[in-house]
């Protein structure tokens, strides 16, 4: 009863902030993301006669809240499989811990965990490879994990309960074959804390309205292959996200001088006629979305600024190894 799976983290394009239901991780509005082919999490799950449930991430035993979130996924799988065997989990990311807050490894961790556990428990024999169900299971570790499961360009339908809160992939990247440059920047804060802060911002309710509407607009731009509209919408969404985070009670300013340097470089290149657009999640890390043929030039300009960018294409869904 053992299986191993790989999944890619994602760049959130229309980001969710705050959760309507923290127990089931149900958000207030839909969200959209794109998987990053260059990065991954590999997770092995084994059920058996072990003395206790254990999880190891990047060579370190997991405990506390982190283990609790992992076991939410495992418990759901055990419930579906009507089994009570203990679990042993070994997982690692393709980048060292702490390298890039905001790169989305919690999404790939949840996706790889759900996929491996689903197979190890034999649920594929009963349900087949039901990506909608897999996305619901992965969501219990991290909301963004449900989008990583289905891969490519994905939309998470917020729903109101476990059954109708799931992700669907709506484009395999052929409509908008994006070139993605990632500038990973570390930060020491809890994403969960930022989610709770955002709900207390005086601008949060308006943010929910605009983000829900923007999902339709971003999805259309992707399907139409319209990079300019796509880029403008994603930039606006990123700024709104950080504005809401900064106006909670703790006044969390998550952008750093390096973040602003990357943003200014992108704005300068755009004034020169290069089609490139920045994006941020809940953290200082910056993504630059551009045409593939412009990636080398954009990369060199960012390196000239003293930044250390990485490149990626559009990544697929979680899969077994």
pLDDT digits (tens, 9 = 90+) for 140-191: 999 999 999 999 999 999 999 999 999 999 999 999 999 999 998 877 676 7
Strands of the chain, DSSP E: 2-7, 10-14, 19-21, 26-27, 31-35, 41-48, 54-57, 60-61, 86-93, 153-157, 166-171, 178-183, 276-280, 286-291, 310-312, 319-320
The pLDDT tens digits of the residues spanning 238-262 come to: 999 999 999 999 898 989 999 999 9
3-class secondary-structure state, position 198: helix
Query: How far, in Å, are 31, 204, 248 from residue 200 at the CA level?
Result: 20, 7, 5
Q: Taking a C-beta distance cutoff of 8 angstroms, is the pair 155, 167 a contact?
A: yes
Which ranges in 21-152 belong to alpha helices (H)?
64-81, 105-120, 123-127, 131-138, 145-150
Q: Is beta strand 31-35 parallel, antiparallel or unpaired with respect to 153-157? A: antiparallel
What CA–CA distance (Å, rounded) separates 140 from 72? Answer: 6
Give the number of other CB atoms < 10 A from CB of residue 320: 14
Terminal C-alpha separation, the chain = 14
The torsion defined by the Cα of 13, 19, 24 and 30, in degrees rounded to 10, comes to -40
Q: Taking a C-beta distance cutoff of 8 angstroms, is the pair 13, 34 a contact?
A: yes
Q: For residue 254, what are the contacts with CB-CB under 8 A and spacing of at least 6?
A: 187, 189, 194, 242, 245, 246, 282, 283, 284
The topology under which CATH files domain 178-312 is Alpha-Beta Plaits (3.30.70)
Looking at residue 192, what is its pLDDT? 74
Q: Is the pTM of this model over 0.75?
A: yes
Looking at residue 97, what is its pLDDT? 66
Looking at residue 225, what is its pLDDT? 97
Looking at residue 133, what is its pLDDT? 97
310 pairs with which residues across the strands? 182
Domain positions in the chain = 2-174, 178-312
Q: Taking a C-beta distance cutoff of 8 angstroms, is the pair 180, 288 a contact?
A: yes
What CA–CA distance (Å, rounded) separates 287 from 304? Answer: 17
What CA–CA distance (Å, rounded) separates 132 from 267? Answer: 38
Q: Is the dihedral of CA 283, 215, 209, 288 positive or negative?
A: positive
Which residues of the chain have a pLDDT value below 50?
none
Q: Which residue has the tokens 């259309």?
A: 220
Q: For residue 199, what are the contacts with CB-CB under 8 A and spacing of at least 6?
A: 17, 18, 248
Q: Is the dihedral of CA 12, 230, 7, 309 positive or negative?
A: negative
The topology under which CATH files domain 2-174 is Ribosomal Protein S5; domain 2 (3.30.230)
In terms of Cα–Cα distance, which of 27, 51, 10, 23 is closest to 198?
27
């Amino acid at each position: 009863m053992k299986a191993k799976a790989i999944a890619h983290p994602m760049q959130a394009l229309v980001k969710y902030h705050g959760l309507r239901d923290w127990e089931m991780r149900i958000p207030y509005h839909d969200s959209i993301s794109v998987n990053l082919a260059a990065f991954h999490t590999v997770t092995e799950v084994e059920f058996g006669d072990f003395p206790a449930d254990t999880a190891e991430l990047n060579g370190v035993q997991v405990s506390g809240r982190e283990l609790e979130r992992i076991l939410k996924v495992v418990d759901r799988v055990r419930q579906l499989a009507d089994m009570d065997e203990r679990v042993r989990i070994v997982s690692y990311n393709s980048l060292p811990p702490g390298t890039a807050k905001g790169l989305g490894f919690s999404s790939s961790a949840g996706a790889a965990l759900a996929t491996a556990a689903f197979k190890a428990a034999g649920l594929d024999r009963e349900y087949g490879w039901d990506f909608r169900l897999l996305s619901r299971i992965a969501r219990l570790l991290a909301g963004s994990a449900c989008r990583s499961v289905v891969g490519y360009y994905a939309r998470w339908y917020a729903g109101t309960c476990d059954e109708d809160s799931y992700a669907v992939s709506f484009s395999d990247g052929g409509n908008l074959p994006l070139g993605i440059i990632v500038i990973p920047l570390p930060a020491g804060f809890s994403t969960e804390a930022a989610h709770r802060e955002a709900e207390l911002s005086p601008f949060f309710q308006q943010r929910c309205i605009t983000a829900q509407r923007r999902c339709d607009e971003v999805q259309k731009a992707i399907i139409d292959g319209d990079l300019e509209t796509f880029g403008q919408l994603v930039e606006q969404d990123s700024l709104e996200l950080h504005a809401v985070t900064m106006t909670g009670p703790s006044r969390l300013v998550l952008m750093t001088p390096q973040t602003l340097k990357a943003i200014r470089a992108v704005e300068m290149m755009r004034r020169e006629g290069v089609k490139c657009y920045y994006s941020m999640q809940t953290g200082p890390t910056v993504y630059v979305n551009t045409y593939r043929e412009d990636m080398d030039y954009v990369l060199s300009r960012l390196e000239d600024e003293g930044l250390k960018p990485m490149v990626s294409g559009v990544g697929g869904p979680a899969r077994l190894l």
